[in-house]
A = this chain, B = another copy of it.
Amino acid sequence: MRGAVIHAPGDVRFEERANPAIQAPTDAVIRMSATCVCGSDLWDYRGINPVNGPTPMGHEYVGIVEAVGSDVTTVKPGQFVIGSFFASDNTCEICRAGFQTSCVHREFVGAGGAQAEYLRVPLADGTLVATPDLPSDDLLPSLLAASDVLGTGWFGAVAADVKPGATVAVVGDGAVGLLAVLAARELGAERIIAMSRHESRQKLATHFGATDIVTERGDEGVARVKELTGGLGAQSVIEAVGTQQSMLQAIRSARPGGAVGYVGVAHDVTLPGEELFYSHVRLLGGPAPVRRFLPDLIDRIERGAIDPGRVFDLELPLDQVAEGYRAMDERRAIKTLLRP
List residues of chain A with CB under 8 Å of any chain B CB.
93-94, 97-99, 101-102, 104, 159, 230-232, 235, 242, 244, 247, 255-257, 262, 265-274, 276-280, 282-287
Contact = CB atoms under 8 A, between A and B. Distances in A.
How many copies the complex holds: the figure is 2
Contacts of A235: 97
A280 B276 contact: no
Contact of A270 (B262, B266, B270, B285): B270
Contact of A273 (B104, B271, B284): B271
Given A280-B101, A283-B284, A287-B278, A266 B273 contact: yes
A101 to B, nearest CB: 7
Contacts of A285: 276-277
A232 B92 CA distance: 11
The main secondary structure of chain A at its interface with chain B is mixed
B274 A272 contact: no
A266 B277 contact: yes
Contacts of A244: 273
Given A273-B268, A277-B266, A257 B98 contact: yes
A280 B246 CA distance: 19
A93 B257 CA distance: 10
A277 B284 CA distance: 8
Contacts of A283: 276, 282-284
A269 to B, nearest CB: 3
B269 A273 contact: yes
A97 B102 CA distance: 31
Given A94-B255, A94-B257, A256-B99, A277 B286 contact: yes
A128 to B, nearest CB: 21
A257 B279 CA distance: 22
B232 A93 contact: yes
A159 B276 CA distance: 14
Nearest to A101: B280
Contact of A232 (B94, B232, B274, B286): B94
A276 B266 contact: yes
A266 B276 CA distance: 9
Contacts of A284: 282-283
A48 to B, nearest CB: 13
B277 A265 contact: yes
Given A94-B257, A256-B102, A276 B282 contact: no
A192 to B, nearest CB: 18
Contacts of A242: 277
10 contacts: A98-B257, A101-B280, A104-B231, A268-B274, A269-B277, A270-B270, A276-B283, A276-B286, A282-B283, A283-B284
Contacts of A277: 242, 262, 265-266, 269, 285-287
Contacts of A230: 93
A276 B277 CA distance: 15
A99 B273 contact: no
A199 B270 CA distance: 36
Contacts of A272: 269-270
A278 B271 contact: no
